[in-house]
Amino acid sequence: MVSGVILLLFDPRPKERLEELFDREEEVKLLMKAVATPVTLLLGVRRVGKTSLLKSFLNSLGTPHIYLDLRILEDRGYSRAQLYRLLSDSVSSCISKWKKMLECFRGIKGVGISGFKVEFDWREEALTLTTLLNKLNEYAVSGTEGGFIVISFDEAQLLRFLAGGKGRMDFRRIIAYAYDNLRGLRFILTGSEVGVLLHFLGLDDASSPLYGRYVSTVRVERFPRERSIEFLNRGFREAKMNVSDDILNAIVEKVDGIPGWLTYFGCMCLESGGASKEAIRAVTEKALGIVEGELEELFKRSSQYRHVLKAVSLGAASWSSIKKAVEVWVGRRLANAEITRSLNTLTSLSIVEKIDGEYRIADPLIAEYCRKI
């Protein structure tokens, strides 16, 4: 709620019901078809609406589902202990709706049950993830109407950081095991760092446990211009606010159809009490502050990312023109491999896109920030 207005389309929180989504009917159909396969990838750039689509889709299913937001581990730490804590919370939340699931965990060493809450003890060596997945599979096959349950990992590229006890916890092996043996389980993995996730999974890498397995893919794209205008119109109508076409066009020009930013602008305009050019400038400054916080963390890894992004934001689209610009700013000649590595990393993170051989920054607000640095 903003200034007494009940937010619907401009609610900044992820949507959780299909009727709250805007223009994602085709993606929902694709997910419904894809969930018949063991593993589905839900891919798209940051703020394009993957979490809203995933949560709404899961809640529309008549089958149990477990949702794990791996971004929590960024604060808690990437360890077996924190993963089991996240899993305990997520499964307990699911059991509150699907109470019969609780029975599949009774009598397992390392599992504590209190009411409808379960606790998985990470210190119990016998309590492996494959043990838990086997129990969930038994429940899915014999205790659910559809014969399957869905386990979803939001921002699944973060699984690569997980370690615990004796060495790394290779989630690719766990998913491959479930793929081959546990027919009652379905996995959905989202990723905003698309290249990083695909590299981690190694679907085309003969050394990867998941090599050669069929995986369904659903891509979530930004809205085209006309749909962005319609999105804003509907959101402002819900708030009973009249906004001129000039303002709507100015907002869309600023964010290029990325739903998360469209929602942010709409919400902030409602909060400020109007949608004027001045309001757009003020909201833009707040949005750029968010972008700055995200990018400065990236720049700590390598200052060269800063120079590469600045070059692309100023119109350098080819590999050679980017290299020339960065060399001028750093004051020395660079090895070809240095620029290639930076561009490959930024592309894997879905910050930069390569289209028809030319590079561009995927998010216009990131591009605006980079022009100023």
Amino acid at 202: G
Same domain, 174 and 257: no
Report the C-alpha gap between 280 and 282 in whole angstroms.
5
pLDDT at 6: 54
Same domain, 229 and 109: no
> Quick one: residue 211, left, alpha or beta (phi over 0 = left, psi -120 to 50 = alpha)?
beta
Number of domains in the chain: 3
Same domain, 322 and 280: no
pLDDT at 167: 47
3-class state of residue 165 by DSSP: coil
pLDDT at 282: 86
316 is a domain residue: yes
Same domain, 334 and 365: yes
Four-residue CA torsion sign, 198, 204, 208, 212: positive
Altogether, the residues listed in the chain come to a count of: 373
Cβ atoms within 10 Å, residue 247 = 19
Cβ atoms within 10 Å, residue 78 = 17
Report the C-alpha gap between 115 and 100 in whole angstroms.
12
Same domain, 291 and 320: no
pLDDT at 183: 96
Domain limits at 334?
Answer: 301-372
Of 191, 219, 247, the position where a domain reaches its end is 219
Q: What is the DSSP letter of 156?
A: G
2 is a domain residue: no
**What CATH number does the domain containing 318 carry?**
1.10.10.10
**What CATH number does the domain containing 131 carry?**
3.40.50.300
Same domain, 145 and 268: no
Element spanning 263, H or E: helix 259-272
**What CATH number does the domain containing 231 carry?**
1.10.8.60
pTM: predicted TM-score of the whole model, two decimal places: 0.91
Same domain, 111 and 186: yes
pLDDT at 226: 96
Same domain, 215 and 287: no
Of 279, 295, 311, the position where a domain reaches its end is 295
Distance set, CA 22 to CA 43, 84, 212, 218, 223 (Å): 18, 35, 35, 17, 10
Same domain, 309 and 290: no
Q: For residue 210, which of 192, 196, 198 has the smallest C-alpha distance?
A: 198
Report the C-alpha gap between 227 and 234 in whole angstroms.
10
Same domain, 154 and 287: no
pLDDT at 2: 54
Report the C-alpha gap between 270 and 4 in whole angstroms.
10
Bridge partner residues of 130 (DSSP): none
Q: What is the DSSP letter of 106?
A: T
Of 253, 277, 295, the position where a domain reaches its end is 295
Report the C-alpha gap between 364 and 336 in whole angstroms.
27
160 is a domain residue: yes
3-class state of residue 274 by DSSP: coil
The answer to whether residues 324 and 314 touch, using CB atoms and an 8 Å cutoff, is no
pLDDT at 276: 86
18 is a domain residue: no
Same domain, 130 and 250: no
Q: Spell out the per-residue pLDDT of the chain, length 373, in tens.
A: 555 555 689 999 999 999 999 999 999 999 999 999 999 999 999 999 999 999 999 999 989 999 999 999 999 899 999 999 999 999 999 998 899 999 999 999 999 999 999 999 999 989 999 999 999 999 999 988 889 999 999 999 999 998 654 446 899 999 999 999 999 999 999 999 999 999 999 999 999 999 999 999 999 999 999 999 999 999 999 988 999 999 999 999 988 899 999 999 999 888 888 888 888 888 899 899 999 998 998 999 888 999 999 999 999 999 999 999 999 999 999 999 999 999 999 999 999 999 999 999 999 999 999 999 8
Same domain, 114 and 84: yes
Question: What strands, in cross-sheet order, belong to the sheet with 149-154?
Answer: 65-69, 149-154, 185-191, 39-43, 216-219
Report the C-alpha gap between 25 and 372 in whole angstroms.
38
First to last CA, the chain: 35
32 is a domain residue: yes
